[in-house]
Amino acid sequence: MKKNLTQNHEKRTYEYAEYISGDVVVFTDPNKPDHLMTVHKVQGDGVLLNGNRSFALTHLIRGASVAEVLAKRRLTTAEQALAEVP
């Protein structure tokens, strides 16, 4: 005997998440620490960082560039400009 399963045809909306677990980020503010941080979990407008030891609002961080990952820290604006020159 076949079971008759109901199908839900409602449109589902998914919030766009700017960051996902495992992303490497840095603070945008030069007065904040310049070390790299890893996103542990996204929670609303914020993220848990470094294995749930820190929390930051998403508008205060950005994804780390390849040059920053290689340098293992946030680069200054001048350093970023030099890093982008081929």
Decide if 73 is inside a domain. yes
Q: Is residue 62 one of the residues assigned to a domain?
A: yes
Does residue 10 lie within any of the structural domains?
no
CB 32 within 8 Å of CB 26: no
> Which pLDDT score is estimated for 9?
42
d(CA 29, CA 18): 18
How many domains is the chain partitioned into structurally? 1
35 belongs to a structural domain? yes
Residue 7 maps to a domain: no
Helix, strand, coil percentages for the chain (3-state, nearest 5): 20, 25, 55
pLDDT at 85: 65
Please check whether residue 13 lies inside any domain of the structure. no
pTM higher than 0.85, yes or no?
Answer: no
User: Which residue segment(s) compose the domain that 61 sits in?
Assistant: 24-84
The model's pLDDT over 4-57, given as tens digits with 9 standing for 90+, comes to 544 444 443 345 568 999 999 999 999 999 999 999 999 989 999 998 889 999
Residue 49 lies in a domain: yes
State residue 14's pLDDT score.
42
Residues 6+ apart with CB under 8 A from 29: 60
Q: Which pLDDT score is estimated for 86? A: 62
pLDDT in tens, 59-81: 999 999 999 999 999 999 888 88
In a domain, 11, yes or no: no
Dist. CA 53–CA 38, nearest whole Å: 11
